Structure 1
Amino acid sequence: MNLKELSAHLGLSPTTVSRALNGYPEVSETTRARVEKAAQALGYSPNARAQGLATGRARAIGHILPVSHQHEMVNPIFGDFVQGAAALYARHGYEVVISLVEDIKEEAAYRAIKARGNVDGIIVHGPRMADARIGLLQELNMPFVVHGRASDIHTPYSWLDTNNHRAFRRATDFLLDLGHRRIGLVNGLEFMDFAHRRRAGFEEALLARGLAPDPALMRSGEMTENYGFASADAMLSGAAPPTAFLVSSMIAAIGVRRAIQDRGLTMGRDVSVITHDDDLNYLRNGIDVPIFTASRSSVRQAGRLAAEMLMKLIEDRGLPPQTHLLEAELIIGSSTGPAPL
């Protein structure tokens, strides 16, 4: 179906239908909703290039991923995030532009994108504690939303984040309530903001129970399966091994489970494990009963909500910065139990 056929079906002029689909303010919300509903029902997809010529927009959203020897953003979490955002982009006639850039060349990449004008807005991934990209995008006057936050940036900016501090405080309290007193933390790289907040929540829960955080039971690194295995193996080899682990990702938690099993121990009985980010499309946490107890926050939902925020910022450049803090659920699985006597 083309624009002319959709217009005839609705009994509206092609100009009105085009303006409704492109978000022009002079079109009433009733008409806009009617046009969008018919377009979706009849399978009409506006041509992004034609829309761009008509509106002066690129009709594209940029996702720039830093490629680094220190941390890797191309993982199942990013895939789920984009999956959540892509449906909304498509509904609004936007395409996705994904660029992989060496982290030392990020500034040049952002400036080049602004100069080319090939995207209307950007989602910033993997914010660091003091993330220079935020100030740069503000300088470039480019609409953007940060997936996460940057603790050391104090100027207002748009972000969507999970309450990592509360999630890890709650998970640690859960293990403490089960009687665990030696809990190993297998965290992400702590110059990344999410990992910094998770460690703070973990330590706060310990201190509230009169327990001093033990550096020997804390690790920070790239969240791979091998990292999870090596971290847990080293801690379990100590003179006073942990009876439980709190892990920052499902992938690393699988490595922790391998280290436990290699010692002939049973996860959930001999050693408990809680992980984060278990709600991933390509890495399911069991089928009927969760394998891991987990602090769960849907990455797909985060992608959809961040896309909604960015669409609003693109449509109305006068909007103030938008923020959205998601809370994680605690899902009880078979990987946790009382501390062994």
Structure 2
Amino acid sequence: MNLKQLSEHLKLSQTTVSRALNGYPEVSEATRQRVMKAARDLHYSPNLRAKGLATGRAQAIGHVLPISTQHEMVNPIFGDFISGAGQAYAGAGYEIVISLVGDDDEEAAYRNIRLRGSVDGIIVHGPRMKDPRIPLLTELGLPFVVHGRASQIDTPYSWLDTNNLRAFTRATEFLLDLGHRRIGLINGLEFMDFAFRRREGYVTALTARGLAPDPALMRSGEMTEVYGFRSAQEMLAGPDAPTAFLASSMIAALGVRRAIHAAGLEMGRDVSVITHDDDLGYLGNGQDVPLFTATRSSVRAAGTRAAEMLLQLIREPGHPPLTQMMEAELIIGSSTGPARR
């Protein structure tokens, strides 16, 4: 079925149907829903090439990933984000274009994308504290949404983020309420904005209780299972070992659990662990009872919402920047308990 046949079936003009399918604001919500339902029922699939020619758009969204061992994009969490974003793209008739570039070639890659007009917008991943991609994309005039924030950028821009500072303040307070005073932080790379904010939350909670943060109990690195294992193993072997850990990733937390067991201890009884849980489809946090107490925020939901925000910016050129803060839930699992005397 083509657009003309769908329009005839609905007794609407092709322009109205096209605008409804593309989410233009001048079409009423009732008409939009009617058109979308008919398109689904009749298995209408737009010709993306023809649609692009008609709208002057590429009908594609770009994700540019630097090839680096010191970057969070090596983390498989990216797959869940793309799954969520892909649902929103598909519903709007957009495709995903993923570009892998060298760490020193990012600026040239973005300029080339803008010159070729190969995408209509960009999702920016893994923002650093002072991320040069934000002023660059602003200069290029290419619609973009940042998954996260850049604390040292003052220029207004669109972003969607989890309240990492609040999540780790709350997690640290929970451990303090259980009587823990030696709490190890196994964090991500702290030039990344999310990791910086998580450390700030941890430090804020300790300081509020009159406890001085101990550098010997803080680690920053790529969030792998081996990193979690080695970091926890080093701390547990010290003369004043921590009674609890706060991990920035479920993957690193699995390494922490392995280190606890290797030391002949039991997680939840001898040593408590709280992790950040992105509610991943491929890495669940237990079955009926969560394995880890966790600050939970769905990265798949974040992908869907970030894509929706970007599509709105593409539909409405000149729209002011869009921002959204997602709050993390504190999920109680079997990995935490009172500090042992």
TM-score band (shorter)? over 0.9
Counterpart code for 1:91: G
Query: Following TM superposition, by how much is the alpha carbon of 1:104 offset from its aligned partner in structure 2, in angstroms?
Result: 1.5
Counterpart of 1:307 in 2: which secondary structure?
Answer: helix
1:179-258 paired onto structure 2 within 5 Å: 179-258=179-258
**1:147 equivalent in structure 2:** 147
Give ranges in structure 2 of 5+ residues lacking alignment: none
Query: Following TM superposition, by how much is the alpha carbon of 1:49 offset from its aligned partner in structure 2, in angstroms?
Result: 1.3
**2:301 equivalent in structure 1:** 301
2:328 is equivalent to residue 314 of structure 1: no
Identity of aligned residues (%): 76
- Alignment partners' CA distance in 1, 2:161 and 2:243: 30
Query: Following TM superposition, by how much is the alpha carbon of 1:340 offset from its aligned partner in structure 2, in angstroms?
Result: 0.8
Query: Following TM superposition, by how much is the alpha carbon of 1:337 offset from its aligned partner in structure 2, in angstroms?
Result: 0.3
1:6-25 paired onto structure 2 within 5 Å: 6-24=6-24
**2:3 equivalent in structure 1:** 3
Answer whether contact 1:228 1:254 (CA < 8 A) is retained: yes
Answer whether contact 2:165 2:201 (CA < 8 A) is retained: yes
1:19-168 paired onto structure 2 within 5 Å: 19-24=19-24, 27-168=27-168
Answer whether contact 2:66 2:101 (CA < 8 A) is retained: yes
Counterpart of 2:261 in 1: which secondary structure?
Answer: helix
Greater mean alpha carbon deviation, residues 99-108 or residues 16-25: 16-25
Query: Following TM superposition, by how much is the alpha carbon of 1:28 offset from its aligned partner in structure 2, in angstroms?
Result: 3.9
Q: How well do the aligned residues superpose, as a CA RMSD in angstroms?
A: 1.3
Answer whether contact 1:277 1:295 (CA < 8 A) is retained: yes
Counterpart code for 2:188: G
Alignment TM-score, normalising by the size of structure 1: 0.97
Answer whether contact 1:278 1:284 (CA < 8 A) is retained: no
Counterpart of 2:264 in 1: which secondary structure?
Answer: coil
Counterpart of 2:239 in 1: which secondary structure?
Answer: coil
- Per-residue deviation, residues 94-143 of structure 1 (Å, max 9, x unmatched): 00111111221110110011011010000000000000000000000000
Query: Following TM superposition, by how much is the alpha carbon of 1:26 offset from its aligned partner in structure 2, in angstroms?
Result: 5.1
Give ranges in structure 1 of 5+ residues lacking alignment: none
Counterpart code for 1:225: E
Counterpart code for 1:193: D
Greater mean alpha carbon deviation, residues 6-15 or residues 228-237: 6-15
Query: Following TM superposition, by how much is the alpha carbon of 1:205 offset from its aligned partner in structure 2, in angstroms?
Result: 0.3
Counterpart code for 2:79: G
Counterpart of 1:73 in 2: which secondary structure?
Answer: helix
1:25/1:179 Cα in 2 relative to 1: closer, same or farther (>3 Å)? closer
Query: Following TM superposition, by how much is the alpha carbon of 1:25 offset from its aligned partner in structure 2, in angstroms?
Result: 5.3
1:318/1:278 Cα in 2 relative to 1: closer, same or farther (>3 Å)? closer
Greater mean alpha carbon deviation, residues 5-14 or residues 60-69: 5-14
Query: Following TM superposition, by how much is the alpha carbon of 1:238 offset from its aligned partner in structure 2, in angstroms?
Result: 0.4
Greater mean alpha carbon deviation, residues 100-109 or residues 265-274: 100-109
- Per-residue deviation, residues 176-233 of structure 1 (Å, max 9, x unmatched): 0000000000000000000000000000000000000000000000000000000000
- Alignment partners' CA distance in 1, 2:26 and 2:134: 33
- Alignment partners' CA distance in 2, 1:41 and 1:75: 38
Answer whether contact 2:72 2:126 (CA < 8 A) is retained: no
Counterpart of 2:65 in 1: which secondary structure?
Answer: strand
> How many pairs are equivalent?
341
- Alignment partners' CA distance in 1, 2:172 and 2:23: 46
1:85/1:340 Cα in 2 relative to 1: closer, same or farther (>3 Å)? same
Counterpart code for 1:14: Q
- Per-residue deviation, residues 255-278 of structure 1 (Å, max 9, x unmatched): 000000111110000000000024
- Per-residue deviation, residues 150-173 of structure 1 (Å, max 9, x unmatched): 000011100000000000000000
